Structure 1
Amino acid sequence: MPELPEVEALREFLDENLVGKRIARALPVAISVLKTYDPPLGALDGATVTAVGRHGKFLDIEAGGLHLLIHLARAGWLQWKDVLPSGPPRPGKGPLALRVALTGGDGFDLTEAGTAKRLAVHLVSDPATVPGVARLGPDPLADGFDRAAFAALLAGERRRIKGALRDQSLIAGIGNAYSDEILHAARMSPFKPVQNLDEEETTTLYDAMRTTLGDAVARSHGLAAGRLKAEKKSGLRVHGRTGEPCPVCGDTIREVSFSDSSLQYCPTCQTGGKPLADRRMSRLLK
């Protein structure tokens, strides 16, 4: 799933390659991708792109006074093409969900792998009218988001740190991968209750969050859209690396599986050497 660093890198890429260009046509290919109907997608025809922004994991392409909001979800991606195919895209079972063609012959495709179609596109006059944007918490890399603001958000929380970091209404942009990376950098168990954090631990977690996300954004800076997935994977230290040695201590990275996701962690760095119970395997062994 693209998270804050990748979406921010896409925003930078589109800001350089899309702003100032005119849209010839925006063509939905998968019926599930478009979540709004008024104004119609045809309202973008002939409009010049004036800005590209980001709200958490949402891309915001502004053109003709409208906002094309894109949420790539778990398996979506944006593919930039210097030369788009000449013929109109054909609806079907392929990954193509939406195409934005520019008058110069270039443009981009939105694609989504797999059968669970969650990629979402909204065309609105105000981004705040999209529920997913309206509920977003603060951006963790915003200049004004300091340690005090972070501590205030956590005050009163009664859940595990992993879940709190992933809650978009609490903090915008962090998903499964970077929450694993942040907790590894902070040397904290993903199952540690937020209410058990002391002042020093809160500072450690805040610093780990800012450093982990900031470093990921810096690594992705200037990369073409097609290289961002590989860059994300290469920069991860624990997420997606079950069975590999921890790059900090050498212990074996372990995994806890859930119904539709999993987390990875280092026992030595994060849980005092004790493996966490894998709920899925525990149920199978009963």
Structure 2
Amino acid sequence: MKILVTGATGQVGWEATRSVSVLGNAVAGDRSVVDLSHPETLGSTLDTIRPDVIVNAAAYTAVDRAEEEEALANRINGEAVGAIGRWARAHNALVIHYSTDYVFDGTELSYTERDATCPLNAYGRSKLLGEQALACSGCDYLTFRTTWVYASRGKNFLLTMLRLASERETLHVVADQFGAPTSARMIADLTAHVIVKATGERLGGTFESGLYNLTAEGRTSWHGFATSIIDAARELPGGGRIKTTSVEPIPTAAYATPATRPANSSLDGSAFDRRFGLNRPQWQVSMMQVLRDALRA
């Protein structure tokens, strides 16, 4: 089985390449190999690689910049996803695609896959376009909505907090946005299990495409996440660099950004659990794994 991972140098893509490599021939498709900003080239690119499974971890993720570059975000997160789906349909390939909590407006405490979407920003609109394009392509697919993704590499909230905590005694962090911090490693490891199950179902003629929420269990605020990161890091080897003694809560209004974020990003993952027979860990468990890796770096 040949598995192409797009966005292979990103947080989820890097972890997914590692996780799926035990299943077959994993092709790490970074932007030099698969460029989603040019959807018209994807057919010939995929013709050359000929994957059986496409894990689409590539995306336009600059949430604030997307407010000024919505056309580019739509091309990468929307049009390109549709092109991948159409190729997959023509060649009987399976597509695993990742979406986001930002397709919702955050007015509910928790969202299921059946809830109405209402993106607040350009990034969310572009990701919703991708969901719709993939579903309309007619290929075999699984779309996973996730939230608050972080890893021990790249640019993310956990690494930012560790850096700031080594420089400042006091941090100010938004306390009125809620979600489930979800590690890229957890997403990738569960994806590998999903591919095994989905491949068996396709061979047996029982596979059904669908959209599922894939996040860690539990719920916290950005302030709660930051506090947990710093408290845990202080107790781990390498945590001696922590200077922060106080993490102060602030409202969203005190930290203005070009793109509006949903106040509630909690996604109900129970349908994922039932569909794939897997258990998603509490967000604190994954956080400790990533912290140990980050502090060793």
Report the TM-score when normalising by structure 2.
Answer: 0.30
Larger radius of gyration: 1
- RCO higher in structure (CA 8 A, sep ≥6): 2
TM-score (ref. length: structure 1): 0.31
